[in-house]
Amino acid sequence: MSTTSERPSPCSEKRNDRTACIAWALRSCGALLLGGSAFAQSLVNGGVVSGAISAPGERDTYTFDAQQWDRFEIRLVDVNASSLTPQVELYNPNGVLIRTSSSPDVAVIDTTEVRARSISDPSPSLTPPGTYTLVVSNASGARNQTGAYDLHFVLAPGANAGGELLDGVTVFGEIERGELDSFTFAAEAGQTIEGTITALNGGALRLRVERFGRQSYSGGIGTTHHFTTTSSPGGIQTIVVSDGSSTATGTGRYSIVVHGVSAAPPYPPSVFWPSENRSDPLLLDNAGHSGLGPRIGDPSEPFNLAIDCTGADSPSIYALSLSAGKQNALSTRWGWLYLDGPILLRKVGTHGKSVEAWFPEPTGLLVPNDLSLVGTTYTVQGACGGFSGSIRLSGAITQTIGH
């Protein structure tokens, strides 16, 4: 386990500050009671730390720093869905145990705000600014259980594992068990921002969305979350996506897009057209940026799409087609058709209720260094068989080749 450097006692710096000495002593006593040490591992904001209870009774210790008005959230996951019952204990900067959570699958410390004591409420705060401590252990009846775990952590505003959201660019993500996905966007004072986060077909994700500003918070649970905000005074806002079910074990894909932010994409973003039914196969963009098309001569931004046929009833056939033309959704017996005009490229094959990629071997279909192709726009759509004995059309993606 990696360590953080030991900090000097505040008493050594302020020998006459009795309050500082008492607070430091409380933190030290708290560490001893936890069975930990001053060398706890630091958590990764917006990320995950992997560990293991490798011996009966083991207690792993982690720390993080939080400031006034910060909000944080933690999820501890039994990686192998074993007989381990993950438990997490949260201690405040004064060494006081303020929360304990355990579960057979995912233990949750829900969104917690950091606040110092106020003039209107002079009583000590249970969640003051400072260094917090987490203790991870096993809480099953058989105390000798061991196993691997993942510890997910977000501190907002600021968590940014998914990166900055660009204006009008749709980003796709996927929530695994207990995962917390985070994104940021910058808003100027008085700027109105709109955003939409949508759970996609497949999986059992109960979409939970939280939005954090410096002193603001909003959230909701459902299949789609839409927000409109006028920023005042402006600054960084953070969006956190997770599963909102009672067990926090739901998984599935989602999309997220914001409009009105100042961060513009380098070239026209891809446009994603919906399928007729939520149960229809899903068309995926697997390129370097899920919201932008391929780029001239950039191996990290190739032509690379896939169709998700995991919702089919049985193994069957699939097809992926590219056309230079695009029409409004045309109703057919197989779903909505968007392709228009001659088919320029096509891939067909069989699937085993699987995700099939369109990335021609061996190196993929890289866009050549032909500047005349910059600005070329095309539409891709897929079809997948095995849906109650029929073929169903996916949604479509319109992309523009960039420079």
Q: Are residues 239 and 317 in the same domain?
A: no
DSSP string, 32-97: HHHT--S-PEEP-TTSEEEEEE-STT--EEEEEEE-TT-EEEEEEEETT--S--EEEEEE-TTS-E
CB 185 within 8 A of CB 238: no
- The answer on 197 and 86 residing in a single domain is no
Interval 217-232 mean pLDDT? 90
204 and 233 fall within a common domain: yes
Q: Which residue, 125, 42, 113, is CA-closest to 72?
A: 113
Q: What's the domain count of the chain?
A: 3
Measure the CA–CA gap between 148 and 136, rounded to whole angstroms. 11
What percentage of the chain carries pLDDT values higher than 70?
Answer: 87
- On whether residue 372 sits in a domain, the answer given is yes
What does the alpha-carbon distance between residue 390 and residue 316 come to, in Å, rounded to a whole number?
A: 10
> Residue 340: which CATH number?
2.60.40
Higher pLDDT, 122 or 34: 122
| pLDDT greater than 70 at residue 32 | no
Predicted TM-score of the model (pTM): 0.82
Q: Above 70 in pLDDT, residue 17? A: no
Is 14 within a domain? no
User: Would you place residue 9 in the very low, low, confident or very high pLDDT band (cuts 50, 70, 90)?
Assistant: very low
Identify whether residues 241 and 280 lie together within a single domain: no
Q: Residues with Cβ < 8 Å from 21, sequence gap 6 or more?
A: 9, 10, 11, 14
Whether the per-residue pLDDT at 31 is higher than 60: the answer is no
Q: Report the Cα–Cα distance between both ends of the chain, in Å, rounded.
A: 44
Same domain membership, residue 303 and residue 340? yes
Give the residue numbers spanning the domain of 80: 42-155
pLDDT digits (tens, 9 = 90+) for 319-370: 999 999 999 999 999 999 999 999 999 999 999 999 999 986 545 667 777 8
Residue 348 inside a domain? The answer is yes
**H/E run at residue 21:** helix 18-34
pLDDT at 141 (0 to 100): 75
pLDDT above 70: residue 139: yes
Query: Of 259, 281, 309, which one is at a domain's C-terminal end?
Result: 259
Which of the four pLDDT bands, split at 50, 70 and 90, describes residue 202?
low
The whole-number pLDDT of residue 244 equals: 95
Q: Which of 126, 155, 184 is the last residue of a domain?
A: 155
Is the same domain home to 225 and 251?
yes
Identify the helix (H) or strand (E) that includes residue 209: strand 207-212
Q: What's the CATH number where 217 sits?
A: 2.60.120.380
